Structure 1
Amino acid sequence: MTRRTDPLTAEVVDLIGTVVSRYHQEYESAAAGHQLTGAQARVLALLNVRPMPMRQIAQRLKCEPSNVTGIIDRLEAHGLAERRADPGDRRVKLAAATPAGHDTAERLRDSLDFAREPLAALSAEERAVLRDLLKRMLGEDPAAGPTQEF
């Protein structure tokens, strides 16, 4: 038996889908402006926060570790990422953004405009409520620090 979604929930789901679609379109376009694929830009955004084991990157992107290896190879070729030994376990390799990678990740994030104007139309209190609601939807603690995604 299929449960029927109430009309308000259906409308919210549709609106979230539209926001996600617009975000991905702009993200892909912005990435291309930096000679990156969307996947490369997403990995670079993760590495801009902190170095990560490639297995953890694969988990975050919900892809195979072998895909991450290829993405890191290409980011290394562009001078945007490097592999390092994990100081806690030298058997583990961490992917890390280089200074050029950090700069590119910041410029990429700053070039994403699609939500900037609509969000600016909301008061600081409204933006905080929206942030907290989104965190709750994602199962995160609204009182926790900033969430870093792509």
Structure 2
Amino acid sequence: MATPRTPRRPDALTMEVVELIGEVVSRYHADYEEAAAGHALTGAQARLLSLLSLGPSPMRKLARQLKCEPSNVTGIVDRLEARGLVERRPEPGDRRVKVAAATEEGRSVAQSLRESLRFAREPLAALTDDERVSLRDALRRMLGEDAGPGGHG
């Protein structure tokens, strides 16, 4: 009978990497909030618009992706719809279900938002192509995604 193993304590290098990831996440969120404000959006509105720029989605799915209540998503969609950035449409397979979809202007704002992130222009742009590929592949491995040759993205 195997005895349960006590998990090893993380080594100093692992802890340093964890701290650096935390700092990257913190800076990314601050940059994202600033970019959203530059487009007169809240962070939640910007995140929802970004998701919808990838394709229409039912409200419940958006709520799961944003980790919030469906009623919150309804309010965010209402505000984005009032600005002409989002519209509600019937689900093609079930016309009783409504999906939210980015309008052409909404997709344009989402693209502009992504391009305005200083984080992408400054620290990442300072890395060589090879360093960015290595970083991308390492992050994909950490997330359990395939980093195959050429990857995706």
Same fold (TM over 0.5): yes
Counterpart-to-counterpart distance in 1, 2:8 and 2:79: 45
- Asked whether 1:134 is paired with 2:139, we answer yes
Counterpart-to-counterpart distance in 2, 1:145 and 1:57: 23
> Which residue does 1:76 correspond to in 2?
81
> Which residue does 1:145 correspond to in 2?
152
- Asked whether 1:107 is paired with 2:112, we answer yes
Deviations 1:9-61 (A, max 9, x none): 11111101101111111111111111110000000000111111111111111
Counterpart-to-counterpart distance in 2, 1:5 and 1:85: 50
Larger RCO: 1 or 2 (CA < 8 Å, sep 6+): 1
Match of 1:94 among 92, 99, 107: 99
Q: How does 1:1-150 map to 2 (within 5 A)?
A: 4-143=9-148, 145-146=152-153
Taking structure 2 as the reference length, the TM-score comes to 0.88
Q: After TM superposition, where is structure 1 displaced by more than 3 Å over at least 4 residues in a row?
A: none
In the comparison of the two structures, how many residue pairs are matched?
146
Deviations 1:73-107 (A, max 9, x none): 11001110011111122122111001110111111
User: Which segments of 5 or more consecutive residues in structure 2 lack a partner in the other structure?
Assistant: 1-5
Taking structure 1 as the reference length, the TM-score comes to 0.90
Shift of 1:132: 1.2
